[in-house]
Each structure stands twice: as structure tokens, then as C-alpha cells.
Amino acid sequence: MKMSVRHDENRELEILKIVVENTNEAFVTIDQNHKVLFLNKAAENIFGHSRDEVVGHDLDLIMSPTCSLDHRKAVEHYVKTRVPTRIGHETEMVATRKNGETFPANISFSVSEVDGSLYFTGIVRDLTETKALQERIARSERLAALGQLVAEITHEIKNPLMMIGGFVRQLIRQDSDEKSLTKLNIIEDEVSRLEILLKELMEFYKPRALNIAEIDLNDLLREVHHLVKDNCQRKKIKTEFKACKRPVIIEGDRSKLKQVFLNLIKNSIEAMGKGGNLSVRTKLTGDLVEIEIADDGIGIPAGDQEKIFYPFFTTKKHGTGLGLSISKSIIEDHEGSSFSMKSEEGKGTLFRVTMPVCQAAMKEIRHIIAKRII
């Protein structure tokens, strides 16, 4: 009978060990001297330390100095008084990984007494993704509220602006002296600029519903390159389009992506003035495709590069400062995609868009190609 009870206890302990080892939360257990006795796989992944590096060492190894000091005081206080300060409560704090990177974490503490000795266990959850999601939701809510306000203001401005533009164009068509005509042309240019600003304001702040479908990326970029080729020739800009040898299928909103790539190329053309080199390339890297649009124009000053994606920041004389912000938002609205830029003043700028490849479609294409070869 005793053998059976002992067997059951051992089995329960084994099950418990497996469960704790494979849970998503990090488990770290220390003794009352602050020495680490156990940590599970999740703790290794979250903190970046291997079990061999940590077990048997002071908990200070995986904690920031401030957190470690507070934790040590709490443990000492409980050992002396048996009065908990953090035990039984959840706490949010900033933790540190082995590489020095900090991250938001939720930590709860418990204590166990075995044969007169105290053991403290911390359960840690990495809140990086949770905080990022909360920020995205909050940002979406802010943009939705601001979008409604922008829509109402735009509506009030748009109609009188259209009337002003219409009357100005009528006056320009009539006989006018040269001085009046100059003034009217300036008014027309400013009205057009304001109309573009209103359009881009609406584009930036209104919620975007993407029309997702499978797209042949090389085909889309080839179309964009064709649209800008004549303009580049007029400005003596040499263009190069270098695509992957095989089709690259992505999932995205074709119209919105076309808008992004046209805007990036337009920026490159404007940065070169008259004469220069523009290249558009696609490159497969594992499950991702990189789209690079590079120019050898004037580049962006180092001090402006961090601000270049801020709404309304522009280095152009007549720019709205929304084009790159809109482009970045559209790309980041596509799941798993990213947008980055490298620039050197006087040497040029490179825009890089990275997007996941549609694996199912690519697999089908490879299958069709293989059948043709056979």
C-alpha cells in the first residue's frame, strides 16, 4: 500500500514538473539566501540566460540592480517577520534580458515552507506583445476620434476652397494684366496645395480597410516602373528595375501598395532634381521579400532622419509632410511587414519594404514549374 502511495506521489511530482517546465510563464524559484534553485524553459527564453548560467547563483544575475535590491529587501523582511510585502500580489516592472534589452513584465510571488526552509517563486510574464497591442488599440482609437474631427473640418473647408479655385480659374481664363495674372496663378497654386493637403489628411486619419488579395509583386512593381519611366527620361534620370527571377506572390492591397511605391519613387525623383540614378529591386530572403527603392539624390540630413516619418514634417518647400507617414502606415497595416529607410546627405536614400511571401501560392508556382520541366 505504501509503495502504491509513493508511486502516485512520484507520478504527480513528475506531471507537475513537466507542466511547470512547459508553461508559457517563466518560473524562477530561489531560497531564502537569494540563490536560484530552479528556472523553466520560459524563463530561459524570456531572460536569455541558460539554466546552467543561473542555477546555483544569486538572483542578481537576471535582475536589474534596482529590482534586485527591492526584491532582496522583501525576502529578508519576510524571513524575519513572516509578513508579506509583495507575496500574493502581481506587480508590473521593467525587467532586463541578458543582452541588456529591457522589457515590461508582470510578476507574481509565492512562498513555500519545506522542512523549516523558505522557498520563493516568481512567475513572470513578458508583456512586450501585450503592451504593443494595447498601444496599437489606443492609437487606433485616437486616430478614429481624430479622423472624425478631420473629416468634419475637411468638409467645412473643402466646399469654399473648391469655389475659390473655380472662380480663380475663371479669372485666369479672362483677359487680365500681367501683374493680376501673376497673383491669380499664385492663388491657384496655393488652392491646389491646400486641396492636396486636405486629401492627404483624410487619407492619413481615416481608418483603412485593406482589400487583401494575392498579388504578383514583380508584376505590380513592373507596372509602377512603367508609369514613372517617361518622367524619369525627361529629367535625365536613369532607371533600373531588377526583379527576382521567379514570381513573388504576396498578400496585400494592390491599390494601396501601388500608391506607396509610386510615392517612394516620386520622393526619389524629386530628391535627384535633374539627372541621377534610380533603382527598384526585389530580393527573396527566406520567407520574406525585400523591396528596395534607391536613389543617388541629395539625401536626408542626419538630424532629420528620425523625424522624417512624423506627420507634417517635411524637408520640401511645398510638401505636406504626410506622404511618407501614410506610406509607412499602409505597409505596417499589412501583417508581418515593415518599412525602413537609410540615407546619407549628399549621397542618396534607400527605402526598404519587407513583406512576407504567400507560401501556399509560391508552393503552387514551384509545383507548376517542376511539372513543366518534367
Over the Cα atoms of the chain, what is R_g?
30
Q: pLDDT for 318-331, tens place per residue?
A: 666 677 888 888 89
CA torsion, points 212, 213, 216, 218, in degrees to nearest 10?
-10
* Average pLDDT value for the chain: 82
Q: pLDDT for 80-117, tens place per residue?
A: 888 877 777 788 888 889 888 888 999 888 888 888 88
117-146 as b/e, with b when 16 or more CB fall inside 10 Å? ebebbbbbbbbeeeeeeeeeeeeeeebeee
Which alpha helices (H) appear in 23-127, and where do they start and end? 41-47, 51-54, 65-81
Where are the domains positioned within the chain? 2-126, 128-207, 210-374
The whole-angstrom separation of Cα 44 and Cα 46 is 6
Tell me the CA distances in angstroms from 132 to 126, 127, 235, one per residue in order: 11, 8, 44
The whole-angstrom separation of Cα 12 and Cα 25 is 20
In this chain, the answer to whether the domains covering 2-126 and 210-374 adopt an identical fold is: no
Q: pLDDT for 227-257, tens place per residue?
A: 888 888 888 999 999 988 878 899 999 988 9
Q: Tell how far CA 135 is from the center of its chain.
A: 12
Q: What are phi and psi of 295, to 5 degrees?
A: -135, 165
Output the pLDDT for position 14. 79
Give the global pTM.
Answer: 0.51
2-126 carries CATH number 3.30.450.20: yes
Output the pLDDT for position 274. 78
Question: Of the candidates 354, 352, 355, which has an alpha carbon nearest to the alpha carbon of residue 264?
Answer: 352
The whole-angstrom separation of Cα 243 and Cα 283 is 7
Tell me the CA distances in angstroms from 204 to 11, 48, 136, 207, one per residue in order: 59, 39, 15, 8
One pLDDT digit (tens) per residue for the chain, 374 residues:
455 555 566 777 778 778 788 888 899 999 988 899 998 999 999 999 998 998 999 888 888 777 777 778 888 888 888 887 777 778 888 888 988 888 899 988 888 888 888 899 889 999 988 888 888 777 767 666 666 666 667 767 777 888 888 888 888 887 667 878 888 888 888 888 777 777 777 766 666 678 899 999 999 999 999 888 888 888 899 999 998 887 889 999 998 899 899 989 988 998 887 789 999 999 988 889 999 999 998 888 888 888 777 776 676 666 666 778 888 888 988 988 999 999 988 889 999 999 999 876 656 655 555 555 55
128-207 carries CATH number 3.10.530: no
Tell me the CA distances in angstroms from 352 to 241, 280, 328, 338, 346, one per residue in order: 15, 10, 11, 8, 19
The listed CATH number (3.40.640.10, 3.30.910.20, 3.30.70.380, 3.30.565.10) that belongs to domain 210-374: 3.30.565.10
